[in-house]
Structure formats: C-alpha cells, structure tokens
Amino acid sequence: MLGRLNHIAIAVPDLEKATAIYRDMLGATVSDLQPLPEHGVTVVFVDVGNTKVELLEPLGDSSPIATFLEKNPAGGMHHVCHEVDDIVSARDRLRAAGARVLGDGEPRIGAHGKPVLFLHPKDFCGTLLELEQA
C-alpha cells in the first residue's frame, strides 16, 4: 500500500531562519514560502534529491504546529509523509485494521495540491503519518 517517501516534516519556530540554514549553510534548493491557512501552517520544501524536507511554521495561534512547538520550542520532526496510489482505499483499509484517521477522516488538499490524510501517531510507533495521493 505505501509508496515512496514523499517528505519528512520538521516544525520550526522561525521559518525564515530555518530556510536560511538549509539554503545557505547546507546549500540546498528551497522553495518559496507557501501559506496553507486550511492547515494552519506556512511551509517551504527543501529538495534533497530523492525526497524533500518540509519546514513548517505555525500560521496563527490555533495551528497544530503552535501546540507542537510549545512542547518542543526549538522545533523537531513533526511527521513523515508517504505516497499512496488511492488515498480513499488506503484510508478504508487502515480504518478496517483499527487505525485512527485524524480530523473528519476526509482527505483535504495538501501543499502539493493533492489529497492528504493524517494518521494518529499512537497507531504508528509514535510517529504522525501523512498519506498523500500519488
């Protein structure tokens, strides 16, 4: 069911500073800032060749990333995103196996313009998983 690793997401308290670290210190290609108000974040993607690193900053006080950063003020790994061929089929299969889909369970459009879902970290070895339609 799982396809390739699409990205690893890192929550950061200062997106411009984090972008500069990846771009200037590490020499990576970094995308433009992309606000995603429906997800409560602003993101950039760092191209690392075989996958991407997504840097996330809270967009507003009600952002789930704001809560994460309260517990982890310096930032840290937030989630791992895998591609799936059919997100609705994957969701249904995972639910039938006992996995919890976060939110209302319906796919929403993510940063790449494709449907995404998040799966409860307690069901996946303490890691928040994002599924993205390939």
70 included as an active-site residue: no
Q: Could you identify the residue written with the tokens 């200037």?
A: 24
Of the residues 54, 83, 130, 132, only one is catalytic, namely 130
How far is Cα 55 from Cα 77, in angstroms, rounded to an integer?
9
Q: Which of 93, 96, 77, 74 is nearest to 85 (CA)?
A: 93
- Contact between 104 and 126 under an 8 Å Cβ cutoff? The reply is no
Q: Could you identify the residue written with the tokens 């950063």?
A: 69
3-state percent breakdown (helix, strand, coil) of the chain, nearest 5: 25, 40, 40
- Contact between 53 and 45 under an 8 Å Cβ cutoff? The reply is yes
* Catalytic residue list: 130
